[in-house]
Homo-oligomer: A and B are copies of this chain.
Amino acid sequence: MNIDTLINARWVIPVSPDNLVLDDHSVAIQGGRILDVLPSPEAREKYTPTHEQDLGKHALIPGLINAHTHASMSLLRGLADDMPLMTWLTEHIWPAEARWISEEFVADGTRLAVAEMLRGGITCFNDMYFFPDVTGRVTAAAGMRAVVGLIMVDFPSAWASGPDEYVHRGLEVHDQFRGNGLITTAFAPHAPYSVSNAPLEKIRTLSDELDIPIHMHVHETNEEVKQGLSQYGNRPFERLDALGLVTPALMAVHMTQLNDDELQRVADAGASVIHCPESNLKLASGFCRVVELLEAGVNVALGTDGAASNNDLNLFSEMRTAALLAKGLARDASVLPAAQALRMATLNGAIALGIADQTGSIEPGKAADLTAVDLGDPETQPVYHPLSQLVYATGRDKVSDVWVAGKQLLRDKALTTMDTEEILSCAQEWRARIAESDRE
């Protein structure tokens, strides 16, 4: 049978079913979708591919899903570090944003972020930022998958003048990407402290009507909870729940402050939690109760957060940090094993984003979103258990090839749809401008 592409890998790790490592297997791709997963000798008999790729030292895994980021903030990477959250925000990030955010900033920043993510094995990201139409267009042009956030905050910005215009422009963006095979949308009210009740109620109604998920920072810090108590008389999560926002459509990001009742309520409601372990550590925000959430049956996915805080978009590192930190905090080396960390970075992300029918695992019928990881270097030898190696010994630098919807976007570490030199010179131009204004 003639097919588009056949990838023969030393190991195929489909993520679903759990914990499965297939030796010397192949993935057959036709029309951008996974057609078959089978032993390589059989595959070579059965299929006649237009393209064939042998990955003799590699593990082939589902493309990683970065379930929370602010892509274009990559232009602010490392602008300010090692300072308390409010100093960082009020003296550096907010002034830079107020001065520089524009279509051009978002386009150039997204391009830099997409290049970094594809080089690191990420095939899909869940974004929250201004000018989501630009983020979507740039991402689709590179062939990558994304859920772009229809941003909403109470205060005006270069993107919209106030709640009504945020909603209006958001719905325009939603319409713009309707039917797009790579870009979907989510409502993205920024946080409980930055969006008041009326717009949140409107978002809830629209989310129900249009079947759009909701992407929101929730309980990132203890200060947020305290402020919510003083301003609204209840904890932010309680307030969101009273407004009807705690449903399977909710992607609650960070969630470092959860009491027992809230933890159970997240599970009962079927909401997803997006865990950003390195951002929470670096900004000293607190610790998400990941192991308990998973035990309660909550869908927990992984995000990098933006590069301005974190300071990279490295989901291999987040997997590892999530696993290590969970063990350390639980005082139990057996919690959050490697297979679970990989699932959080792939299938759980797809579930949270509402696109698990399309991506997140290597299963026939899903889009061919795939990442090949070379385990043949000294850093990852010998290989006793490929799954463990992926999480504990490998880094994103071992990613060699990436496909999204069957199209190869990274070939032997080179981007096929982006001009790396142009992206770099553009980042350097922004640096000159932004550094100048940060010193003022």
Question: What does the 1/0 interface line of A288-317 toward B look like (CB < 8 Å)?
Answer: 000000000000000000010011101001
Chain A interface mostly = helix
A153 interfacial contact with B, CB 8 Å? no
Q: A84-B332, A381-B424, A431-B383 are in contact. Are A388 and B78 (CB under 8 A)?
A: yes
Q: A82-B338, A334-B83 are in contact. Are A431 and B382 (CB under 8 A)?
A: yes
CA distance A331 to B77 in the complex (A): 22
- A116 near B435 with CB under 8 A, answer no
In the complex, what residues of B have CB within 8 A of residue A333's CB? Answer: 82-85, 88, 282-284
Question: What does the 1/0 interface line of A179-195 toward B look like (CB < 8 Å)?
Answer: 00000000000000000
A206: shortest Cβ distance to chain B, in Å?
Answer: 36
- A120 near B379 with CB under 8 A, answer yes
- B311 near A388 with CB under 8 A, answer yes
CA distance A82 to B327 in the complex (A): 9
- B393 near A78 with CB under 8 A, answer yes
A372: shortest Cβ distance to chain B, in Å?
Answer: 16
- B328 near A78 with CB under 8 A, answer no
CA distance A119 to B395 in the complex (A): 14
A141 interfacial contact with B, CB 8 Å? no
In the complex, what residues of B have CB within 8 A of residue A428's CB? Answer: 381-382
- B330 near A379 with CB under 8 A, answer no
Q: A116-B378, A427-B382 are in contact. Are A81 and B388 (CB under 8 A)?
A: yes
- A392 near B312 with CB under 8 A, answer yes
- B324 near A282 with CB under 8 A, answer yes
A325 interfacial contact with B, CB 8 Å? yes
Give the copy number.
2
A285: shortest Cβ distance to chain B, in Å?
Answer: 8
Question: What does the 1/0 interface line of A334-361 toward B look like (CB < 8 Å)?
Answer: 1001100000000000000000000000
Q: How large is the interface on A (under 10, 10 to 19, 20 to 34, 35 or more residues)?
A: 35 or more
A251: shortest Cβ distance to chain B, in Å?
Answer: 23
- A115 near B79 with CB under 8 A, answer no
- B392 near A311 with CB under 8 A, answer yes
- B78 near A312 with CB under 8 A, answer no
A264 interfacial contact with B, CB 8 Å? no
A112 interfacial contact with B, CB 8 Å? yes
In the complex, what residues of B have CB within 8 A of residue A385's CB? Answer: 78, 81
Residues of chain A in range 69-83 having any CB-CB distance to chain B below 8 Å: 75, 77-83
- B81 near A338 with CB under 8 A, answer yes
CA distance A66 to B420 in the complex (A): 34
CA distance A307 to B333 in the complex (A): 16
- A287 near B112 with CB under 8 A, answer no
Q: Closest residue of chain B to A379, judged by CB?
A: B116
Question: What does the 1/0 interface line of A368-400 toward B look like (CB < 8 Å)?
Answer: 000000001111111111001100110111000
Most buried by B among A79, A324, A438: A324
Q: A281-B324, A378-B116, A428-B381 are in contact. Are A331 and B435 (CB under 8 A)?
A: no
- A424 near B383 with CB under 8 A, answer no
In the complex, what residues of B have CB within 8 A of residue A282's CB? Answer: 323-324, 327-328, 333, 392
CA distance A369 to B338 in the complex (A): 36
A99: shortest Cβ distance to chain B, in Å?
Answer: 15
A177 interfacial contact with B, CB 8 Å? no
Query: Besides the contacts A82-B388, A381-B431, what 18 more A-B pairs have beta carbons closer than 8 Å?
Result: A77-B384, A78-B388, A81-B385, A82-B338, A83-B333, A84-B333, A88-B333, A116-B378, A119-B378, A281-B324, A311-B392, A314-B379, A317-B317, A321-B321, A321-B324, A376-B424, A382-B430, A382-B431
A-B contact pairs, 18 of them (CB 8 A): A77-B389, A77-B393, A81-B392, A82-B333, A82-B334, A83-B334, A116-B378, A281-B328, A284-B327, A284-B330, A312-B392, A314-B379, A314-B395, A321-B321, A325-B325, A378-B427, A382-B434, A384-B435
Report, nearest first, the 7 A-B pairs whose CB atoms are least far apart.
A397-B397, A382-B431, A82-B337, A281-B328, A281-B324, A311-B392, A381-B427
